Chains A and B, each alone.
Chain A
Amino acid sequence: MGSPANERGRKKDEGPIHNVFLSPFWIASHETTWDMYELFLNGSNETRKANRGDVDLGVDAVSSATTPYVNYNQKGFPVINITQYAASQFCKWLTAKTGNYYRLPTEAEWEYASRGGVFSAYSFGNNIKNSGAFAWHKGNSSGTIKRIKLKKPNQYGLYDMHGNAAEWVLDSYDPKAYIERTMTVNNPIIIRKNLYPRVVRGGSYKDNAQSLRSASRGFSSSAWKKRDPQVPKSLWWHTDARHVGFRVVRPFATPNKKQQAEYWVKPKKEY
C-alpha cells in the first residue's frame, strides 16, 4: 500500500510503502448507479422523525434518505453528491434486502482492488498517456460525469476505479496514517469521530489524471455542504460533491452481527 517516492504526482501522504494483509472480499465491478440507489431512496416510505434524515424504512431499522439536490440522475450513471453515511446506509439496506452482508470498502481494500495485481501508478502501468482508454478525467470528460463501464476494466474486471466518480471508503483521512505502519498490518482501517476529513479514492472526472493513481488519496471537507441552508445540515446529501460516488464490497467470510455493525458509518449531525 502506498506509492514510491519517485512516482510522478506522488504526495507525502502516500508513504511510506508498507505491506497489508487483507481478508478476501468481493468488490462491485462498477460504481453504484442511480437506478440502484433509487430503489433504496424511493422504495421507502418518506416519513421523517423530528430532525431531517432519520426515516423508518421498515427493513431492519435502516433509515432512508431525503430527496437529492442533484441534476440529471440518469439510469446507468453513478450516484453522486451523497454523504458517506448515505452510501453506508445503502449498503445496510442492501444487506437487509438480500441477506448478504455489504459495506463500503476500507481504504486498503479499495487500493488493492484498484491496482489489479500490479504495482504501478495505475492498473494499466505508469504511462499517463494510456489513461484515456481506462479512465474519465479532466482531460477527456468535458467536465461531466459519464455512464458506467464506457472505458476498459482493470485486470480484476473492475470499471472506473480510476476516475469518473471519486469513491467513498470507510476510513477517516490521516495524512500520517502510513508512517506508523512499520510491519505488515492486518486489515487496516481508521475510523474517527470527526465527520471531516474522510477518504475518497480514485479521483474523478474533474481531476487531473495524476490524481487518479491507485495510491492517490482524496478527502472530504465541510465545503461539500456549503450550500445546505438548513441547520442541522442534511445527513444524506452534499451540495458540492458532484464528483463523489461509491461502490460496495462483500467480505468473503460474513462477519458476525457485532462486527458488521462496526463497519456501518455512524450518523453525525452537522450544524
Chain B
Amino acid sequence: MKRKQKKRYSRRTFIEQASKLAAASVILSHLPARQKKTNSIEGEIKVAVVGCGGRGTGAAAQAIEADKDVRIVALSDVFLDQAQDCLSSLKEKYSESDQLGISRERIFTGFGSYKSAIDLADVVILTTPPAFRPQHFEYAVKKNKHVFMEKPVATDVAGIKKIIKSSKIAREKKLNVVVGLQRHYQKNYQTLYKKIKQGKVGHIVSGQVYWNSGGVWVRPRKKNQTELEYQMRNWYYFNWLCGDHIVEQHIHNIDVANWFIGSVPVSAQGMGGREVRKGKDHGQIFDHHFVEFTYPNGEVVSSQCRHQKGCMNRVEETFQTTRGNFTLNGGGEGIIKNNRGRTLYEHNSTNDLNPYQQEHNDLFGAIKVGKYLYDDTKRGVEATMTAILGRMATYTGQVVSWDDALSLNHSLVPDLRSLKDNAPVNPNSRGEYPVPVPGITTYR
C-alpha cells in the first residue's frame, strides 16, 4: 500500500480521539469510570429490535430478563418472516408476559424500516448483519436512543469512520452504548485481567488467539430470490455483509488481545484462502486466515481462524508473559501459570453469570437509574478495525499498517432501498463470486 494518503485517522490521533471521547477507558472497561447523569426513564423502558434473527431474538429475551420494566415495542427486519419468527419465539418464551407490546402494526419490514422501529423506543438493539450497523447506529444516536449493538460494528473502513463519528455524538449526548463483545462482561476474563495488570506474571510479550471450528450455517439459493435477497439470506458468505469470519467471529479473540495488551496493533501480515469450503453457496469468504499482529511495544499476537470441518476445534486466547503465561476461553476457563509451569490461579466459573445476560443487566440497570455508565464504542471500533486490518493482510498478502488501513476509503456497503436493487457483487456465468487473491488483491 502506498503512503500517500492524508493521515486523517492516524493510529495515534485515532487513539487519542477515542480515549478522550471514552467515558469508560479501555482499562476500566465496563466499570463506571465516571458516573454522569443522563435522561432517566420513568416507568416502562421501550425497546426496539432491529435485526430479528436468532441473535436479535436472543438479545430481546435478555433485555426482557434484565428488567421487568423493559417492554419490546417494535421489531424491524428486511424480511417479514424473520420478524414474525422472532415474535413467535418471544411469545413462546414469554406467553404470560406483558413485556411484549408488539402489535402487528409495530412490525416494520424493508431496508428503511429501522427508522420507524427506532423512533418508538428508548433503547434499541442492533442485531442485523454487521454491514448495516453504521447506518443504524447513526440514526439511533441522532434520535437520542441508548444502544445495545452486536459485534462487529462494521465490515469496512467507511463503516468504521461512520461509527467513530456517531460515537462522539453518543458521548456528548450521554447515551449508554454496549457492544456485544461479551467477554468483557464475563467473570473469568475480568478476574484474569485484574491479576495480569497487577503484574502477577509480568507483562505480555506474545500471544495466540484462536477461533478454529467447523464453520456456520449455509442458506442455499431459492427460486424466485433476487440476487440481493439471496445474498442477504446467505449473508455469512459475502464480505460486504459479513466482513468474513475473521471479522464476524474471530473478532472476539482479537479483541481480547487488544484488551489485555492495552493497545491496537501497529501492523498486520498474514495468509489465508479457501481450501475446503468453496462450493456454490459459499460466496466469497476464506475458510482460513492466519495473521501476525504487531503491537507498539513489539508484542506479537498470532491469530488463527478456520472454518473447516473434521479438524480440531479451538476457541481460546493464550499469552506468554515475562514471567509465565495465561490462557482464557469463553467456556469460563482462565488459568495463570508461572514460567516453571506451576499454576498460580485457576478460575472456577461454576457460579458465574451468563455474560450475554450480564451485558444487558448492566445496560438496563444504568438506563433505569438515569446514569451514563457504558460506552463500549472504543473497543468495538478498535476490535472491528483490527480484524479488518487482519483481513486486508490475508487478502492482499502484504504488510498492512494501521495508519494506512484507516486512511483508505475502503467501502463495501451500498445504499440499499429494495431487494430489487443491484447487489454489490455478482456471480459469473458459472455462479462463482469474486474471491480475493493474495498478491493480486489490492486496496486503494
Contact = CB atoms under 8 A, between A and B. Distances in A.
Contact of B310 (A42, A47, A69, A271): A42
A41 B220 CA distance: 19
Nearest to A49: B219
A230 interface: yes
Contact of B313 (A50, A72, A227, A231): A72
Interface string B32-62: 0000000000000000000000110111111
Given A47-B218, A67-B216, A271-B61, A231 B89 contact: yes
A47 B220 contact: yes
B315 A50 contact: no
Interface string A224-249: 00111111100000011010000000
Given A38-B310, A231-B89, A271-B92, A71 B58 contact: no
Contacts of B55: 229-230
Contacts, number: 85
A94 to B, nearest CB: 18
A231 B310 contact: no
Contact of A67 (B59, B81, B213): B213
Contact of B214 (A47, A67, A230): A67
Nearest to B356: A229
A164 interface: no
Nearest to A53: B217
B315 A71 contact: yes
Q: A-side binding surface: helix, strand, loop or mixed?
A: loop
A269 interface: yes
Given A71-B316, A230-B54, A239-B331, 8 more contacts: A41-B214, A48-B217, A67-B309, A71-B329, A227-B331, A227-B356, A271-B89, A271-B92
A66 B60 CA distance: 23
Interface in B307-338: 309-310, 312-316, 329-332
Most buried by A among B60, B216, B310: B310
Q: B-side binding surface: helix, strand, loop or mixed?
A: mixed
Contact of B60 (A50, A231, A242): A231
A46 interface: yes
B309 A68 contact: no
Interface string B209-235: 000011111111000000000000000
Nearest to B217: A48
Contact of A231 (B58, B81, B213, B215): B58
Interface string B56-74: 0111111000000000000
Contacts of A230: 54-55, 57-58
Nearest 9 Cβ contacts at the A-B interface: A271-B93, A67-B214, A230-B54, A231-B57, A42-B309, A231-B58, A226-B354, A230-B58, A229-B356
Given A71-B314, A71-B316, A271-B61, A231 B217 contact: no
Kindly state the interface size class of chain A when it binds its partner.
20 to 34
B331 A242 contact: yes
Contacts of A48: 217-219
B309 A38 contact: yes
Contact of A73 (B58, B215, B312, B330): B312
B218 A68 contact: no
Contacts of B93: 231, 271
Kindly state the interface size class of chain B when it binds its partner.
35 or more
Nearest to A51: B85
Nearest to B91: A271
Interface string A63-81: 0001111111110000000
B315 A74 contact: no
A52 interface: yes
A41 B218 CA distance: 15
Interface in B290-310: 309-310
Contacts of B60: 231
A228 B93 CA distance: 15
A72 B57 CA distance: 30
B186 to A, nearest CB: 9
A240 B352 CA distance: 12
Given A73-B313, A230-B57, A231-B58, A269 B329 contact: no
A42 B220 CA distance: 17
A67 B215 contact: yes
A68 B215 CA distance: 9
B124 interface: no
18 contacts: A38-B310, A41-B214, A42-B309, A48-B217, A48-B218, A52-B54, A66-B217, A67-B215, A67-B216, A68-B214, A73-B313, A226-B354, A228-B58, A230-B54, A230-B55, A231-B89, A232-B89, A239-B331
